[in-house]
Amino acid sequence: MCADLWSFALSTYARPGVEAACLRLQEQGADVCLLLCGAWLERRGVAHTPGRVQALQQLARPWRVQVVEPLRYLRVQWRALAQQDTQLASLRERVKALELEAERTLLARLETLAQAWPINEVVGQYEWLEGLATEAANLDHDALQALRVAATDA
């Protein structure tokens, strides 16, 4: 088991089907960093509570809205133009790297918050993903299950 959230996230995201599942969930408004954190908490046996969910969401939302999403928007907007403009393609790659670093920073912040929560409190409790997903993402049971299964094997 990966001890830190970043290593866990990388390992889980690299598993077959997880990237596609995460992108589907993201399109439905879910915060993939929060979902990866939720899968990590499930794996560690951390008890799911409304207060903990709220604390994670309150920490993640401003960073996602003010930092991650503007970088993602810029990267996506430049996708087509960058195919014909090598200088823009180079800038787009740097924006992509900044977006990844912003996500890594968010995961580190989420991990710091969650470190105070006892591990091995519960066995087989699978409520974190549903608790951290948006309503629309909660309807995509296949994507959530793909993430959960991959996280179990990570």
What pLDDT, on a 0 to 100 scale, did the predictor assign at position 137? 82
Q: For residues 140 and 154, what is the distance between their CA atoms, to the nearest angstrom?
A: 21
pLDDT at 119 (0 to 100): 93
Question: What is the per-residue pLDDT for 2?
Answer: 62
Q: Look at residue 37 in the predicted model and tell me its pLDDT.
A: 97
Delimit the domains of the chain by residue range.
Answer: 5-153
Token pair 């290593």 is at which residue? 7
pLDDT at 76: 95
In this prediction the pTM is 0.92
- Closest C-alpha to 68, from 89, 96, 93: 96
Give the model's pLDDT for residue 85: 97
> How do the pLDDT tens digits run along the chain, 154 residues long?
568 999 999 999 999 999 999 999 999 999 999 999 999 999 999 999 999 999 999 999 999 999 999 999 999 999 999 999 999 999 999 999 999 999 999 999 999 999 999 999 987 778 999 999 988 888 888 999 999 999 887 6
